[in-house]
Structure 1
């Protein structure tokens, strides 16, 4: 104990000294995004606070251990060629990305075997349109490259108008080097943002013209930081780790040479030095004008590379990417908010189960005559009808419940895979692949649950139930996806999927998912019928008028508020990761929130079902489903608020894509919540009526 106390005292002293030093650095005006040791210390201090708040476990000493577990740094040798890849050209305003080589510019280099091996080609990446292609820029380790012309491109009027449109909609180009996304850093404004814009606009107040002026970034100044491997800083031949990848875009109207252009061609605008060096200067901006009377605009694309040695360890190179992200206290608040809802509901359910139900059951069982039993009112009187199967669409009911259980099982397995690091949530393509594969493999779960529920409803068309369970939700989702894919193809978006990929999706659905659903259905129909503790009367009991809060749609709207409220705060971060390209790595927090959501659905369903039975309404099956499934409606309404307040999409197609995908997500969310409500209500009803002594 003494040694542990000394260790804690020493840690507290070091933490205090570090906090004082950090405050002093902030007073001196040091930024958090630079390559200096002071900036690295400030980032480390922020990350250490995250560790104390639960982002990192004690054994995880750096952010790289969380984002990319098990990944070891790659060692590059001096003068070794390092590969740069292009990613999507996208915008938060449109959500319709394009490929880098669709833009006017230099052609792609030839593909080598080593470059092909480094490309991501999983199912999820292909569905997202992710295809890393080699960039036209060549560079070697620790070799600076001065301003070098890359190629000349003659941009016609049609492409010029398209470029102006992309600039207006704030499209950004993304590249990666050694898996690091390219960054634009501003030490003055203390921010770092991924990617760089295609160009920029200048308003009339700046240019003095009658309309906006458009400019193109055609020169890229790359800054790559590295650290030497081991203790061999003095060894010129030592290997290095890449620790940073920055870009500074410049708009410059290069002089067009009379002869052909090659990287060896000397142009005056590239060889200038001092005050005339390549830099953003309003006098030399490259304008995207369409009214010059010329059929084409000649553009020279150029670049330069600078290598800077730093002391930043490879493990800390991801710290700068989290600068400006929301504080982790919000995630903690989300969990506390959800827990408060669960505790409130747990108290209400405990009151029902322990006090009211126990008293009612004891009183009913102690009755001496039938006359006394008939004088009773409330939930006890419907024991002969409470297990009567739903008369309205029993097949649809069973399909919805089975599909909801399948969605919940697949999502639970996906989260477990992320937590045990079989799936890395930082790789969105890999995560989407995991979700799709696990959903397909859980087809037997949907078939089994749907068959058990359908058999309980005394239905006979088991073949139709089996086929519709296999084709229901997947058919709807694939149909919507096909329609969106057609419009994306028409717009030339990079996320449009080709014919063979669509064929692969159909094969996965027909050849894997459907047979598994059939197997589950076969097992479900062969299983014993769900047992019930009371006989069902031959004559259906009259249902009196229920209180207003138990009648749909009021009961549905009331029931969905709490399940949605338990996830609404965390939902903001999830939507930001999906649509604003932010980093989301709180899989442990997400797992806790989903468990709280499940508990909330169970308790809301039990409470609403009990109130309905107390009103002598035995038709609880469909109501228990919609009471919780209505949370999907609130999710969709929340997504519309997110669309209007955060995304500011431009154009019909981006809005259609967003609404379609959020509609599909909301339907899946509703099915999961509804299935949870039905199953928990069934267990509750069977438990309370099983405790009654009914002749």
Structure 2
């Protein structure tokens, strides 16, 4: 489940914004003041685990949690929150501002757990499932220390129990010490600035002491088990300001790694930039000067990339599909860039649950016009006449594949009886956004794209295609494409680790400044790699560069997919078949989107490069 990024973006502004590590006042998020004895609502979210990708509803009957009188009240969530598994409900916990209470019974009667449900809960304890509560917009957590810096921070969530592997024994937590930090804003006004929960297990309950020294509670798997849910509430004054209350949650375990990632990416860019500079400023400049010296005594016969000037702008095979992919790539690039601008400026904060994913979806839908326009322009440039087919495929093909895979994965969640399954109403809402907003906007964009004059090329295309000579082994399609994809992946793989940790280990990702800088580096790297491979290909008299340039930079997605396999076996402890299917299904979607985005960057960069060099020479 992606958490900012809930989970997988635009220059110096992004880089500068990444320098401060503290939280700041977030636009659109207003603090709430409480008076003494005011009710502070505690909301409950789904159970999640780092050992599995299957969340469970807090009020799943097998957990036997006590419901509020009249049933739990659903808390309205954003579309992004729902898609990524959040299910917020009201609870029976009674929290009153600055009023300590002890030995509170959560249920009106003792809880009776059957043998079957006891086995179910014990299995969830073994899988390290955790509670996810929310108080005044803050997630409840527990205080732990960073193993590297020994600095304390708040880890979101707390376990439902403890599993002792040596004894093969699961202990269930049925008592909660809730510690709420508050700041005295002014006379008689208070704000919540921190929430910690210390769970424990109590076999026998006492109204006076809660019997905290008794034996722990274990749930029998061959008979019924009776127990009480209890809790204490402690209000702790704090000097922490409301504007910095997220500091302990937004903790980077090793911030030096982010800097190493950025430096690594910049080194890759400098290396490529040096190669491009050699090609453009020395070799290519010399070639152009020699080709233009037609009347000079030292003029030489044409060779290399000038020989293919009559074929270099020949429409590629399957140009309809290339136009469709480039249009969708432009749509993804516009969505990613604008979303990161909002994220860096602080409008997409962790306190606004699901805001990042919601904004991404909204921008993606509205940038359907970009997809239609770019696809239409490219298709018309190549002489395409089936404009209806072009528009329809642009609007449906790529999002349709993503939606189909997502729906299939949703059926796996439904079969596992997981709360992460997207409700039918949400699926209908997605379809309505797709066909009610994105498709019409794609049509509008395509209309304006086809209305534009056809893009003229600087050289004419011959009627008869030129024969392509045998290529050296390193320039053959498979080898050149796979080699080219390594460098863009090398520029982003460290930041990719943090994004995947955010998605699959339920951590908050918030260093959007670093992400923006790495996104710029990725764009430059994809462009330079594609241009270099294109130049070498043209020098070998191979003019089929359109698809090759798309695949050269887009092949970095293949390495992202390979890395996801490595991450699965080295970093995750998923054991169930369903969790594996969900993981690889979502990573397949992410890699596919990455392929379309980076491929589009490569083909656009090569198009600009090829137009420039052939516009700079004299053609007889």
**Is 1:426–1:585's contact at 8 Å kept on the other side of the alignment?**
no
Q: TM-score, normalised by structure 2?
A: 0.92
The equivalent residue for 1:27 is none
The equivalent residue for 1:202 is 164
- Higher relative contact order (Cα pairs below 8 Å, separated by 6+ residues): 2
1:499 to 405, 420, 424: 424
**Is 1:104–1:159's contact at 8 Å kept on the other side of the alignment?**
yes
Deviations 1:283-339 (A, max 9, x none): x11112213xx3x2222211121223333333443332245x323222222221111
The equivalent residue for 2:11 is none
2:261 to 307, 322, 334: 334
1:104 to 63, 75, 95: 63
1:290 to 221, 224, 227: 221
**Is 1:106–1:136's contact at 8 Å kept on the other side of the alignment?**
no
Structure 2 CA distance for aligned equivalents of residues 363 and 305 of structure 1: 83
Deviations 1:319-366 (A, max 9, x none): 32245x323222222221111111111111111111111211111121
RMSD of aligned alpha carbons: 2.4
Which deviates more, 435-444 or 145-154? 145-154
Structure 2 CA distance for aligned equivalents of residues 516 and 322 of structure 1: 38
1:444 to 355, 360, 369: 369
The equivalent residue for 2:6 is none
Distance change in 2, residues 1:421/1:53 (3 Å)? closer
The equivalent residue for 1:360 is 287
After TM superposition, give the deviation of residue 370 of structure 1 in Å. 13
1:170 paired to 2:128: yes
Structure 2 CA distance for aligned equivalents of residues 279 and 626 of structure 1: 63
After TM superposition, give the deviation of residue 613 of structure 1 in Å. 0.4
Structure 1 CA distance for aligned equivalents of residues 140 and 113 of structure 2: 26
The equivalent residue for 1:424 is 349
2:311 to 362, 385, 403: 385
SS in 2 for 1:367: coil
1:242 to 192, 196, 207: 192
After TM superposition, give the deviation of residue 53 of structure 1 in Å. 9.4
1:123 to 64, 70, 79: 79
Write the mapping of 1:190-589 to structure 2, written as runs, cut at 5 A.
192-204=154-166, 207=167, 212-230=168-186, 232=187, 238-254=188-204, 269-272=206-209, 278-279=211-212, 281=214, 284-291=215-222, 294=223, 296-323=224-251, 325-368=252-295, 375-390=301-316, 392-424=317-349, 427=352, 429-589=354-514
Structure 1 CA distance for aligned equivalents of residues 417 and 324 of structure 2: 37
**Is 1:564–1:635's contact at 8 Å kept on the other side of the alignment?**
yes
After TM superposition, give the deviation of residue 72 of structure 1 in Å. 4.1
Instruction: Tell me which structure has the larger Cα radius of gyration.
Output: 1
**Is 2:104–2:232's contact at 8 Å kept on the other side of the alignment?**
yes
After TM superposition, give the deviation of residue 158 of structure 1 in Å. 2.0
Q: What number of residue pairs does the alignment pair up?
A: 599
Distance change in 2, residues 1:421/1:309 (3 Å)? closer
Which deviates more, 301-310 or 89-98? 301-310
Deviations 1:168-200 (A, max 9, x none): 100000111122211223589856422221111
1:93 paired to 2:51: yes
After TM superposition, give the deviation of residue 221 of structure 1 in Å. 1.4
After TM superposition, give the deviation of residue 107 of structure 1 in Å. 2.9
1:63 to 12, 19, 22: 22
Structure 2 CA distance for aligned equivalents of residues 653 and 458 of structure 1: 47
Q: TM-score, normalised by structure 1?
A: 0.82
SS in 1 for 2:195: strand
Structure 1 CA distance for aligned equivalents of residues 208 and 477 of structure 2: 76
